[in-house]
Structure 1
Amino acid sequence: MAAGENPPPQAGQAPHGLRAGLHGLTTRGRSFLAAGITASLCAYVFGQDALLRVGVLLAALPLVSALWLLRTRYRVAGGRRLSPHRTPAGHEARVHLRLDNVSRMPTGVLMLEDRVPYVLGPRPRFVLDRVESHGYREVSYRVRSDLRGRYPLGPLQLRLSDPFGMCELGRSFNASDVLTVVPQVVPLPPVRLPGERAGHGDTNARALALAGDDDVIPREYRHGDDLRRVHWKSTARYGELMVRREEQPLRAHAAVLLDTREIAHRGSGPGSSFEWAVSCAASVGVHLVDRGYRTRLVTDTGRAVPSAGNPAATTPAEANGLLLDELAVVDHSDGGGLARAEEVLRGGEGLLVAIVGSLDSEQLERLCGLRRRAAGAVLFLLDTATWAGLRHLLPDASDGDFEEQQKMLRRAGWTVLPVKAGASLPELWRSADRTEQSSPYRDEVGA
C-alpha cells in the first residue's frame, strides 16, 4: 500500500445475541415492532384472529431482519491514505478510504463513516452499494483546518443494514491516522545576513570554529578503503591499520528562538501575534535549513529540537518536517522570562534569529547578553499592541518605549526588525540584508 496508508484492519462478525439485534433496530424497525405488539394485544382482547396474524407479521419482520444481520459473516478490510499527511493551516488535505470484501459472499448495502474532529469539518458518511466477493470500493473526502495541531482520524465505522431498513449494526476498525496541520510557511527571499562571510552561506570564522564540522580523527581500516589514506602515525600508535576520514564540509549553525510567553502576546485565534510569531519561526527555520544551516528551534521554556539540525540523522526535508511538527503543537507558556532559553543557548550560535513579543527591562538585558554569544543576530520585535487594536488608544509614551527598546537592542548589536500587525514577512526579511543596512548604531551616530 502507499505510504501513509494503514494496513488493512478487518472487521469480523458482529456480536451475536438477540439483545444486540434489538439495540440495532432503526426507528422504522421499532415502529413495526411496537405496532405488531399492539395489534396482537388488541386481537387477543377483541378476539380477532385476522388482526392477530397482521400483528405477528409486523412484529416478526424487524426481529427476522435483526437475526439475519447477526448471522451475516461479512469479512471486510479497510485502509486509509492521507494526501498529504502534513498540511499547512488553511489548506485542504484529502483522505482516501478503501473497503475490501475479503469474504466469499457479496455484501449488502453498507454505510461507511469516518471519525474526524469537529474542527476539520463534518463527519463524512458514505453509502456503498453491494460489494462483490473479493471486490473493493474507494471513496475520498476533504478536510481543512485554520488551526495548527495534530488531529486523529478514525477509526472507521461500518454500519450494516437489512434490505427493509429495519435494523442497523455497527462494526468498527481499530486503526487510525493522525493529520498534522503545520503553520503556514512563507517563502523568503535570499539575503546576506549579518555575520555571514561574503559569498558564503556560513557565518564568520568565529562561528565556524564553534559550530563547524571538523572530522579529522582517524578511524579503523575497512575493506575497500584506499590505502593512500592510511594514517601511519595512528597505525603505529593503536597497533592496527588506521585511515584518515574524509574531510567534511563546514556548515553554519543557526538557532531560531521563539517567544511563547502568554503575557508577551496579544490577540486570539489565527490572527493573534502568537500565531504570526509561530508562522515566522516556521518560515525562517525552513529557509535556513534549505540554505544549508544546521538549524535548531528553541523556545523560552528551554525546549529545543536539536535533531532538526542533525544532518547525519536527517535529510533537509526530514529536518524541515521535524521543525514543522514541533511548531504544529507549540502553545503558550506560563513563563515570564527568557532565562531557560538563555541556558540552552549558552554555548553560542553562528546565527541567532529571535521572534519575541512584549519585553520588560529584564528580558531586554537577557537579549543583549544573548547577542554577545552569536556571530550574527536578527530580532523580530513584535509591537503586540497593534494586534490588540490598542496602539491608537495608548499615549505617545508607549510608542516611545517601543522605539527605545529598538535602540537598546541595536546598540547591543541586534539587527532589529519591528513588526506591526499585518506586516509582510518577506519584506521584513529583505530589510535584514546587511548590504542594505548601515551600521547597527545608525540611530545614535547623529546624536
Structure 2
Amino acid sequence: MGGRDGAIDKGPSLRARVHLGFLTPRGWGLFVAGVVLLLAAWIMGRRELLNISLFLLAAPLLAAALLRFGRSPLNISRSFHPAVAQAGDAVTVRLEPGHSGPSPGTLLLTEALPEGFGPGPEFLYPCAAFTYRLRPTHRGVYPVGPVTARFTDPFGLSERPGAVDAASSLTIVPVPEQLLPTSLAGDIGSHGQARTSKLSTPDSFDVMTREYRDGDSVRRIHWPATARHGALMVRQEDYQSTPRATVLLDRRPASYRAGPLSSVDQESVPCYPARPAPTTARFEWAVTAALSVGAHLAALGYAVQVSDHRGTPLGRLSASAPDHATETYSGPGADLDLALVLAALGLETPTQHERHREPAGSAIGVSAAVRHSRDPLVLITGDLVAAEAHQWVESLGSTRPVGVLAISSGSAAAAATMGRAGWNVAAVPEGTTVADAWARLGGLRR
C-alpha cells in the first residue's frame, strides 16, 4: 500500500500490532525492570527489592491510567473564511489552540482532512494560531477535523493519542451559470422583471381605509375605523403579489446512468454528519442547471419553488438546507439559499415502495399542489423515453408553460410527445453548458 509521495508503507509497528502503545519505551523499560526485580526479590527474599519492584511496576501503569481517564487540557477553535464557499474556491481554515489548567508542554498536532484531500497538516503547540488552505472541487458538506495529538505524562512513561476537538462542517455549494433573459409565459416585462399575474398568490395584504362614497358596498365598511373616526370608513384593498415559478429536478437514478456524460469521476456527495449521497456526473450537471435556472428566475422577481420528481420540496430532502420548512425562494438572498439546498443533494435512494416492487409508473408522480398549479415550470431530467414522456405530461398536464432540459443523447419520440403538449424541450448533448442549453430552450412558450 503506497504512502505519502509514493513511499512504501511498511505497515504498523510491532508495538501497534500487539497494542503496546499505551506506554512509551521508557515506561516499558521501568515495567520490565520491575518484573525482573520482583523475581529477584522472590528468589533472594529481599523485602527492599520487593518495594522497589512494586514502585517500578505501578509508576507506568498509574501514568497510563491518568492519561486514559483524564481530560484533554487542550481546546481548539476552528473557523472557515469564507464560511460557505463555491466549488473550486479556496477556503482558509484557521485553528486557534488554547489550554485550560497546566500547560501540556510542546505537542505535535495533526488536523484530519476529508477523504481525498491527502494527509492533514501538522503544527506544534504552543502557538497563537495556525492557518492552511483547502480547495474543494465538488459540492457537499465536508468534515474538517478533528485535531489529534499524542499526550504524554510529565515523566514520559505513557502516551495516548486522542482527539482535541470534534470535526466541523464545511459547506461547499455548486457554482451557478449566468443565464440570458428569456420570455417566461408573458410574465416578464420589457425591463426583464416579472410582473404580477392574476394567478399569483398574495404575499402581503395591506388594508387601508377611506371615507365612504356613494356606491360603495356595505360589506366594505371597516367598523373599527368607523368607530375611531366617527364617520363611515370603507376598506381600500391593495394586494402586493409575487409571481411564482417551479423548478422540478428529476432525482431518479435511472435517468442519469446511460450516455457519454455518465462517466463518473465522483460517486458520492459528502453530507456530514449524514452518510454520503449518491451522484453521477450527469446528475451534477442537472444540479447546476437547477441552481442556475432557479437563481435566474428569482433575480427576475419570481418566488421559486424547487422540488423533485415527486413534487417534494428539495429543502426537506437535503442535509445542507438552512431551513427544511422553506419551500419557495425569492429576493436578494435566493441564490445563496438555493445553493445551500443543493449543496448536499443526491440521487434518490431506494424507498419502501420500490422495495415492494410497485408499478414503474409510480416513480413519476408529482404532488397535487404542483400538478394543479398554473405557474410556469422548468423540468430538469436525464434520458427520456416515450413512455416516461407520457408520464410527465399526464402528471403535469398541458395547461401551463413548461420547459424541459433533458440530459439526453436524444429521443425524438419523447421530445415529440412533450412538444404535442405545448412544451419546449432541449436535449443536452455532451459538453453543453447550462447557459447554452437555456438559450437553446429559448424560454417557455407564450
TM-score (norm: length of structure 1): 0.67
Matches of 1:324 and 1:73, distance apart in 2? 37
- Counting only pairs closer than 5 Å after superposition, residues 26-425 of structure 1 correspond to structure 2 as 26-37=23-34, 40=37, 62=60, 75-103=73-101, 105-119=102-116, 121-129=118-126, 137-154=128-145, 156-157=147-148, 159-162=150-153, 165-169=156-160, 176-182=167-173, 184-196=174-186, 197-201=188-192, 208-211=197-200, 213=202, 215-216=204-205, 218=207, 233-236=220-223, 247=238, 249-266=240-257, 267=262, 268-270=264-266, 272-304=281-313, 305=315, 307-309=326-328, 311=330, 316-317=332-333, 320-334=336-350, 336-337=360-361, 339-341=364-366, 343-369=368-394, 370=396, 372-374=398-400, 376-383=401-408, 402-425=411-434
TM superposition shift of 1:81: 1.3
TM superposition shift of 1:379: 0.9
- Mean Cα displacement is larger for which, 114-123 or 54-63? 54-63
**Which ranges in structure 2 are unaligned for 5 or more consecutive residues?**
1-18, 213-219, 267-279, 316-324, 355-359
TM superposition shift of 1:355: 0.7
Matches of 1:101 and 1:61, distance apart in 2? 26
Contact 1:26 1:168 in 2 (8 A): yes
* 2:437 aligns with one of 403, 428, 440: 428
TM superposition shift of 1:199: 0.8
Contact 1:282 1:327 in 2 (8 A): no
Matches of 1:151 and 1:33, distance apart in 2? 44
TM superposition shift of 1:403: 2.0
Matches of 2:166 and 2:111, distance apart in 1? 11
For 1:257, what is the secondary structure of its paired residue? strand
RMSD over equivalenced CA pairs, Å = 4.4
- Mean Cα displacement is larger for which, 416-425 or 79-88? 79-88
Contact 2:144 2:170 in 1 (8 A): yes
- Mean Cα displacement is larger for which, 251-260 or 192-201? 192-201
For 1:218, what is the secondary structure of its paired residue? strand
For 2:172, what is the secondary structure of its paired residue? strand
Matches of 2:147 and 2:234, distance apart in 1? 57
Q: Matched residues, percent identical? A: 26
TM superposition shift of 1:181: 3.1
Q: Alpha-carbon deviations, 1:379-401, whole Å to 9, x = none? A: 11121xx5xxxxxxxxxxxx6xx
Task: Decide whether aligned partners of structure 1 residues 244 and 367 sit closer, same or farther in structure 2, where only a CA change above 3 A counts.
Answer: same
TM superposition shift of 1:69: 6.3
TM superposition shift of 1:106: 3.8
Contact 2:83 2:171 in 1 (8 A): yes
TM superposition shift of 1:246: 8.8
For 2:178, what is the secondary structure of its paired residue? coil
Task: Decide whether aligned partners of structure 1 residues 95 and 62 sit closer, same or farther in structure 2, where only a CA change above 3 A counts.
Answer: same
TM-score (norm: length of structure 2): 0.67
Task: Decide whether aligned partners of structure 1 residues 214 and 152 sit closer, same or farther in structure 2, where only a CA change above 3 A counts.
Answer: closer
Matches of 2:153 and 2:105, distance apart in 1? 8
For 1:140, what is the secondary structure of its paired residue? strand
For 1:137, what is the secondary structure of its paired residue? coil
Contact 2:286 2:381 in 1 (8 A): yes
For 2:366, what is the secondary structure of its paired residue? helix
Aligned length: 377
Q: Which has the higher helix share?
A: 1
